[in-house]
Chains A and B, each alone.
Chain A
Amino acid sequence: MILAQVVLNGFLMGAVYALFSSGLTLIWGMMNVVNFAHGDFVMIAMYVAFVVFTALHLGPVFFVPAAAMLLFLLGVTVYFGLVRHVMRGPMLAQILGTFGLALVLRYATLWIFTANFVSLPENLLGDVVTFAGLRLEPSRVAAGIAALALTIGLHLLLTRTALGSRLLAVAEDRNAAMLVGIRPDPMQALAWGLGAACTGVAGALIALFFYISPLVGESLALIAFVVVCLGGFGSVPGALVAGLTIGVVESLTSFWIGPAFKDVVVFVLFLGVLWFRPQGLLGKA
């Protein structure tokens, strides 16, 4: 019974990993820009949720869309204000550019909100439910469902709509896309906006069960990069599969071998997958 709970918790945590990696998949996997500020985007979204809840007394129904919208704006702003310019520079400029952005966001938040930990009240979505002897936290289940919905939504957007085709075209070959009449700038900006908005949804939902602090992005960011790599660059369903896999592997390793070793097992698995499938689990070669 306990083992079943361990696997279930791993799945739910994995869904959370997939959820906050979805935005990164779009930006990194498709635009080929490594957004080092990704973890801090999640953190900003958590604070949006916190502020909307404490200052305006509005629940998740309001603060999740609010975080999505604000982060969309942040994503677009970051694209026009920073990324568009650094993309013309060498690779290193891109890396340091978004890394600098991460530090600015992190320490601006530290300055405004101090380093203190805050959190939303527990059980904002209701108390723990016991189902067939398994304990389910509604907030984590909601995050899991959202991860699934976002993944499917993004996947459909990219593969079934004209807009998605345009996004993909720009991602694949900017010049060729321009030749067929697609202006790359709005598309790239849209990708940043959408990516950031997904991150916004993720952050706001994670805030339901996680502590909030200006430095929380640090503990979440690394895993997002691994998820995107493992799932395959640009593959939205890949991120979901990878997130769930990592969640369950971590959980089982912690339970059987010990929590201090969970990263080792995850990264050995990661390296193993890269060895045989460098394009990632569901990436295209």
Chain B
Amino acid sequence: MKITRRPLLAAPALMLAGRAQAQGAPIKVGTLLPLTGVAASAGNSAKAAIELAVELVNTPRPDLASMPLMATTGFPAIGGRPLEVVIADQQGSPSVAQNQALRLITQERVVALTNGYQSGLAQTASAIAERHGIPYVNGESVATNLTERGFRWFFRTTPIGPDIAAIYVEFLKAARIDGRPVSKIAIVNENTEYGTSIADVIRRTAEQGGISIELQIPYAANSADVSAQVLQLKGAQPDVVIFISYTSDAILYARTMRAQGYRPPILIGDNSGFSDDNFVQTAGDIAQGLINRSAFDPSRPGSNSFKINALYKARTGREMDDTTARMMQGFLVACDAINRAGSTQPAAIQAALRATDLSADQLMIGYRGVKFDDKGQNTKASVLLVQLRGREYVSVWPTETATAQLQLPYKGWE
């Protein structure tokens, strides 16, 4: 047996940790997640990540010391008071999201709100926060207009519509240079805020880049059958298909394409549904070569992403997906701002959020940093493209940072 001295070294640290146990009344942060409804799988993945984040903030983690609040206990700048999260189920409904936001603010007395998941729901919930003057930090909703509303209390860490559209269009232009036809493009999008806004911004960006969108098919994400859409694509034979979907519909599309024997040369599945580990586990085998976007690459040992993913996996038995990682990062940015505010006053937290300037090594995700512009949008968010190989996404583009070679055409089930 190999004898290790690590535990002995760790003992004094643990004793110190015991003494430095979080003190005082907990500081409450409210988090809105879809724990039920069609997006329940994503919401519950995120719940596990948020709970992990709370545990990491409240216990000293020297191994993650490069990230704010990790090496210490609770909020050191506010007398070491512990963090408490109040997770509310928004049930995938914009009106429930609004009611829950109101409840968290007026009854639970949270000092900040976070997350929201679906863009359409973050939209209604953040309007409540704005009215009550409570900071709202969102880490995952990508509809552009969320930060175009002139809100003063809304902050967003994720890359958004235009960033995403830009990388897809650059990628398609590069593919065209490689001699692949990209003249016929079809977008298939779920028809709420998320799908519609991403589809629109991709269309605009593509047309500016000289690529036209030939076909756009909006659909309702809770459809029980998608075969007509797949046949429509099969008839139109586009060079590139871009899906913007949530989890259940993403699974149905993959299965229906297999059943109808349809494979476009290039298939892009935009994040949400396609990043969900549930998609990868239930339909990954028949969607080989699918291209997706991501900001989370946990493959490099020693990186914060790697360590967080390992902790998450120990807790849930699953890999952390990109959406979950972006959600957790948004939550952690809110916690960091509360600590720097040194107070639970909303105005102080808002000022601290405005002053946020985190560098890449202080994050658990692959952004260049976190720094908000006047609209509350993170200016240092970045995104890369990944491709599904087996049951894992590997980064393939831009080529400078890629860890694997891009493989085209789309393979699907072969």
Contacts and interface: CB of A to CB of B under 8 A. Distances in A.
- B interface bracket (residues with beta carbon within 8 Å of A): 35 or more
A13 interface: yes
B4 interface: no
B86 interface: no
Nearest to A216: B248
A135 B260 contact: yes
B278 A135 contact: no
Contacts of B251: 117, 119, 211
Interface in A1-27: 2, 5-6, 9-10, 13
* B interface secondary structure, majority: helix
Nearest to A251: B228
Interface in A108-145: 110, 114-119, 122, 128, 135, 137
B386 to A, nearest CB: 21
* A interface secondary structure, majority: helix
Interface string B214-248: 00011110111111110110110000000000011
B35 A115 contact: yes
B224 A223 contact: yes
B259 A259 contact: no
A254 B258 CA distance: 19
Interface of A: 2, 5-6, 9-10, 13, 107, 110, 114-119, 122, 128, 135, 137, 209-211, 213-216, 218-220, 223, 250-255, 258-260, 262-263
A9 B256 CA distance: 11
Contacts of A6: 227-228, 231
B219 A260 contact: yes
A128 B37 contact: no
Contacts of B231: 2, 5-6, 9, 255
B191 A9 contact: no
Interface in B352-399: none
- Determine which residue in B40, B224, B286 has the highest number of CB atoms from chain A within 10 A of its CB, and name it: B224
A128 B226 contact: no
A219 B234 contact: no
B44 interface: yes
A114 B224 contact: no
Given A213-B40, A259-B217, A259-B219, A117 B282 contact: yes
Contact of A122 (B36, B37, B38, B255): B255
Contacts of B278: 116-117
